[in-house]
Amino acid sequence: MSELSQAQKVKCMIALISALAVVSITSSLNWPILAEALRNQGYAESLIGINAAAQFAGIIIVALAAPRIIPALGFFKAILLGFAIVALALVALPAFRGFETWLVIRFLLGVGNSLLFTAGDTWVNQIVDDKVRGRWMGIYVTVGMAGWAVGPILGAHLDPDTVWPFISGLAAVAIAACFLMPARKLDVRLTTSERGLALGLATVFLAAPTVLLSSAMFGIVEGAMQSFAHLYTMDVLGAQYRQTGYAVIWVGAVAAIFFQYPIGWLADKMNRHWLLILCVLALMLSILLFPILIEGSLANWWQPQALALWTVVSLWGGAMGGIFTVGITLLGQRFRGVELVSANAVFSVLFGVGGLLGPFIVGTTMSAIGPVGFPVSLLAAVGLYTLFAVYRQLTRR
């Protein structure tokens, strides 16, 4: 594997971080817009969840093949191919509206997103030094979350039944591709001998189950929140509070921006496994308090009930981002070379599995027992993972 100079590493990191941050706008815009568009067509939450799950199915399929695809193409070409597939899906979504056609298109959208983010995450982790890995991952996720925060702002002011959300997404993909161009000659290619060292995905999972299962839990919560947090808010407060629902997603994303570098810094200073558990506990607390405080959004922002709600939403977003930051930092610490590609592939597979299950479980639960199904099902998922993670950490040798 060719080595990059320190200056080349910084240049490559800037290009990658900028590109992946901008394309994140597309992802954070699509989830709530597509869910709202389906509701406007009269579909129940359970069917909206199934439609969202198709996108995660695409993530799973690509992640399973990533240990072969990414070393063969190289990181740069893999990300570029991901951009092309996402752009194609964004053209097709408004052109072929309908539940069944969107299942297929969202599967392709998941394929493109999985390819570009799995390659990007691995490339970033491959070129940084372990002693500052947490801080670089914190910067990477911070800038990515800044891009992620733009999507809900756009979504709150765009009609889901028009082409404008999708045109906005296409513009973000085009800008991201331009940002990536400076890295085209800095690709870190894996040699033939390194490709032969690939671990089986099951072997990778057994080497780091706590970290990798955090991705599944992350996928459940992320998929459910992006698809249903704004719908839950409208169910509880009334449809006239549509922008408040988008504000919940936006505030969580903005808060995540400010949490990630401090969390990355902590990951370089303390036990990273315990830090992961602390982030999960913070997430569980925020999910527990969110439905209790949701009506605080009706008050002026400076009033105590409103401040309490937005503080909890901020904690939710920060903890979510922290789980991802610490998770990929631990992967880079544990694996190198094509083994890191395999580890990131398992991370993406489990994120896809979680994301596939999350919207389906939450949507079905909300259809069965009403809006309360949103926080109840999320608490169950996070609580089960917390028990597993604490047990594993206490019994580590």
Q: What is the mean pLDDT of each run of 10 residues along the chain (397 residues)?
A: 74 88 84 88 86 84 82 90 94 92 94 88 83 85 81 83 91 92 81 46 81 90 83 85 81 84 90 94 94 84 88 92 88 80 81 82 89 93 94 85
pTM of this prediction exceeds 0.95: no
pLDDT at 194: 44
- The domains located in the chain, with CATH, are 6-186+195-394 (1.20.1250.20)
> Alpha-carbon dihedral of residues 312, 258, 393, 337, nearest 10 degrees?
140
pLDDT at 114: 86
pLDDT at 197: 41
pLDDT at 25: 87
| Interatomic CA distance for residues 243 and 225, integer angstroms | 15
Instruction: For 264-282, write each residue's pLDDT tens digit.
Output: 899 999 999 999 999 999 9
pLDDT at 100: 93
Helix 6-40 and helix 45-73: axis angle, to 10°? 160
| Interatomic CA distance for residues 341 and 125, integer angstroms | 10
